[in-house]
Structure 1
Amino acid sequence: MTLPESPAPSLHTLPSGLKVLLAPDPLAQTVAMGYFVQTGARDELKGEMGASHFLEHLMFKGNGQVGGAELNARLDALGGHANAFTSDEATVYHAASLPERAPELLAALSVLLEPALRPDDIETERGVILEEIAMYADQPESRVFDALRSAYWGEHPLGHSVLGTVQTVSALTPETLRRNFLARYGTSAVTLVATGQLDVPELLAQAARISADWPRTVHLRRPQPQQAASALHTLPDDSLSRLHVAVCTPGLAVDHPLREAAAVLSEIVGGENGRLYWALLDTGLADSADLSHAEYQETGVFEGGFSCDPERAAQVLGVYRGVLNSLQQDGVSEAEVRRAARKLAVSTLLRSETPQGQLFGLGMEYLALGRVVTVEEAVQRVADVTVQDVAALLALRPFDVQVTVALGQTTALQTLSV
């Protein structure tokens, strides 16, 4: 795939230790910025699960000079579309606006990284988060995947709940949250990413001034090995009319040379026209079925599942498992690999066509790999996946271990083996 060249991103390290990753585009009509922090749910103590997500909420309550209402009004006035998210390994704060408002956007966004952590704000947000936990607890899809993560990961920190539990969130004190912030938000863990129409010298100078007094603490993540064993767990709930099943199998770490092959394989199996679609949805056996690949620092997983009529549970699970097992026995075709690789390459290009779309690709790849990955490289790597690459991945036998959790009317599964 031949791609036109775009301006090369540049990486800078400021005197404060803050890293700044810039991808200027003088033809862009917008500018997007984000603080990408290399910390997430896996970096918490087990008894403090939910602290990272709690801090994400509290960042929008302002700093010592700017209150939460004023901060959010500033972001709204910029048209900033400001938002944030917390995952297992990252926390991201992002916004977009017009190029002429870039200095104001950076100033407002940077207030998020200087949280006041006021006790009153903490109590208010505690109630908000407990309501969020309760909301997801009412959703069968969330319940079954929470149970799957617990069953697959066990005591591994990647099994931590991003939201936390009612017990852990209720117990988080202002002192605990401040300790978590100071320990895990040092400038060495933070990267400012900006894309679009940028004044590079002005942005760097402003970022240097803003971050001059930020914490310099260093948080070291300790990768841990993990080895799962096949299991089938049933969670009976006769109030549900559909059976919800989630499946997890071993995958690849983010820096594995077959990483892109895992993405292509997931598309072949769980994409809109993947094998699971034709085996389960087109036949009317299930109303949903999917598979995706999630990658982490030292490991990864294939995650997926389906929902169906409880009476068909055993049949549908057998078909789902059969699709996975047939891949290891019979492999995939050249045509399947070409279609999936092309679709993923085009999707990557489409996301990068706006500064905000490019922001996430640059930022998340830098956090994951510790180096700058251009759009051209990301597209080319997936476009270059071959049928031999997918065969090499399947030779690792990722689907030999399958951890399965079923939620709902599970009687039809009670006698099945793992």
Structure 2
Amino acid sequence: MPELILGPAGTPGTELTVETDAGALVRRSVLPGGIRVLTEAMPGQRSVAIGAWVAVGSRDETDGHHGSTHFLEHLLFKGTPSRDAMAIASAFDGVGGEANAATGKEHTCYFARVLDVDLPMAGEVILDMVTSATLDVEEFAAEREVILEELAMNEDDPGDVAQERFATQVFGAHALGRPIGGTPETIRAVPRDAVNEHYQRTYVPGELVVTAAGSVDHDALCAQVLEAVRAGGWELDADASPAPRREASALAALEGFPTEGSTQIVHRVTEQANVLLGGLGLPAGDDRRFVLAVLNAVLGGSMSSRLFQEIREKRGLAYAVFSFSGGFADAGMFGLYAGCAPGKVEQVVDLLEDQWRVLAAEPIEPDELERGIGQVCGQLVLGLEDTGSRMSRLGRIEISTGELLTVTETLDRVRAVTAGQVRDLAAELRAQPRHLTVVGPFADHEVHGAAQFEKGIVHV
């Protein structure tokens, strides 16, 4: 089993080469300053996806800096000393490329997809943004308003509201429970100096990971990365190592997680109620993540899943119904979702609960297990058919666990999952405090389907 971990996170000069699938070749280098570069050369591709990752997310914000990580995602596109916002946008538009960014709870990524001949341009522009953002005062004020509009747009989407409230219920006062984009209050309150402090503290060589997949020359990209970050004024200590990865602490050691279940009813004038039920899940690096993938497929991952069949097909109670999971370094969440008529919430919650309970009590039948495994395997392979997904996979692996499995090795892990493992994990997840989030047109006194969570009811 190839691993990307060499020492805590590698040392300068570290090199690793792994042949993966269909002739693809993954290479990893640790450059001066502790910068990590990972590439996956994919034969037959004419395009390349590149990402500059900073292993810092919303959970890393300190008091007075909440919302800064997402703020920076916006501001880095507003200009550097060598190019303004229009020049950044035009560089990619002029070659038919795509560029964007994403902020998470544990990382931020600036990425692009271009033709292979345009990779030098894409890398130069993205690394210029990462190393040399000006954070102009006027641009800062204007972008504050843009972010507030983005948050307002999210608040108008009942599905987004449900997901944000659910995460806050599951993780409580822990930093993972904070909204990734900040809140209107934190965005209005955070000053430019605080965002700049966050930028200077976290956008440093040891936190930078550059990944690329497609038609890419690893050595050429490493040379370009060094040239670009030095041009951006970063000093690169030849002996510096990458920042260590987050430690996967035991859940019992994490502070702020609720110890009891709860219900939150959020009033919105909607035609449907958005219902989320669940709790803590598995950390990203947990060996049972393959079991969780199969569990998710069986319970709510497809049209043949138990939730879809029981709630939509047999009873017509919902159009959208599914289960989901998300993992972080030291924790995760697992949940079930359904969108239904407000008057059907009680019945839907009972069905969500019942299907989860049955899965946790009885091993699934062999044909259902085989179907779930087949779904996970097929989606995995199909999801890695493009350069963007391969680039993202490298970045997430390097930042979270450091363990690189080939597609074949991953499929073998999935195919080894047993019915007993699925049952046992379903029972373990169900034993965690369970939380119910309902967003819909309810008055303060109306709580549908929340009897088993009465102790923790909150109305918003």
In the superposition, the TM-score normalised over structure 1's length comes to: 0.92
Distance 1:376 1:62, change over 3 A: farther
Counterpart position of 1:355: 387
Would you say the 8 A contact 2:26–2:39 is kept in 1?
yes
| Correspondence 1:201 to 2:216 | no
| Correspondence 1:234 to 2:268 | no
Counterpart position of 2:234: 214
Would you say the 8 A contact 2:346–2:449 is kept in 1?
no
1:278-293 equivalences in 2 (<5 Å): 278-282=309-313, 283-293=315-325
Distance 1:47 1:378, change over 3 A: farther
Counterpart position of 1:243: 273
Q: CA deviation at 1:26?
A: 3.9
Counterpart position of 1:94: 111
Counterpart position of 1:416: 451
How far apart, in 1, do the equivalents of 2:111 and 2:368 lie? 36
How far apart, in 1, do the equivalents of 2:23 and 2:430 lie? 37
How far apart, in 2, do the equivalents of 1:352 and 1:343 lie? 14
1:42 aligned counterpart, secondary structure: helix
Counterpart position of 1:186: 204
User: Unpaired segments of 5 or more residues in structure 2?
Assistant: 1-19, 237-241, 454-460
Q: CA deviation at 1:395?
A: 4.6
| One-letter amino acid of the counterpart of residue 157, structure 1 | A
Q: C-alpha deviations, 1:72-117, integer Å up to 9, x for none?
A: 1112223221111111111111111111222122112212212111
Counterpart position of 2:296: 266
Would you say the 8 A contact 1:153–1:228 is kept in 2?
no
How far apart, in 2, do the equivalents of 1:215 and 1:88 lie? 27
Q: CA deviation at 1:414?
A: 7.2
1:371-386 equivalences in 2 (<5 Å): 371-386=403-418
| Correspondence 1:175 to 2:206 | no
Counterpart position of 2:13: none
How far apart, in 1, do the equivalents of 2:415 and 2:377 lie? 6
Q: CA deviation at 1:413?
A: 1.7
Would you say the 8 A contact 1:249–1:399 is kept in 2?
no
Counterpart position of 1:108: 125
Q: CA deviation at 1:214?
A: 2.6
How far apart, in 2, do the equivalents of 1:349 and 1:389 lie? 23
1:393-412 equivalences in 2 (<5 Å): 393-399=425-431, 401-410=433-442, 411=446
Counterpart position of 2:17: none
How far apart, in 1, do the equivalents of 2:63 and 2:371 lie? 42
1:159-170 equivalences in 2 (<5 Å): 159-170=177-188
Q: CA deviation at 1:219?
A: 8.5
| Correspondence 1:36 to 2:71 | no
Counterpart position of 2:458: none
How far apart, in 2, do the equivalents of 1:90 and 1:80 lie? 23
1:289-368 equivalences in 2 (<5 Å): 289-368=321-400
How far apart, in 2, do the equivalents of 1:171 and 1:234 lie? 27
Counterpart position of 1:68: 85
Q: CA deviation at 1:232?
A: 2.1
| One-letter amino acid of the counterpart of residue 309, structure 2 | W
1:290 aligned counterpart, secondary structure: strand
| One-letter amino acid of the counterpart of residue 355, structure 1 | T
| One-letter amino acid of the counterpart of residue 346, structure 2 | A
Counterpart position of 1:17: 34
CA RMSD of aligned residues (A): 2.2
User: Unpaired segments of 5 or more residues in structure 1?
Assistant: none
1:69 aligned counterpart, secondary structure: helix
| One-letter amino acid of the counterpart of residue 161, structure 1 | P
Q: C-alpha deviations, 1:340-388, integer Å up to 9, x for none?
A: 2222222221222222221112221221112334333333333432324
Q: Which moved more, 1:93-102 or 1:239-248?
A: 239-248
Counterpart position of 2:4: none
How far apart, in 2, do the equivalents of 1:34 and 1:318 lie? 43
Distance 1:406 1:312, change over 3 A: same
- Aligned-pair identity in percent equals 26
Stretches of 4+ moved more than 4 A in 1?
215-224
1:92 aligned counterpart, secondary structure: strand
Q: C-alpha deviations, 1:15-34, integer Å up to 9, x for none?
A: 13210001112421111111
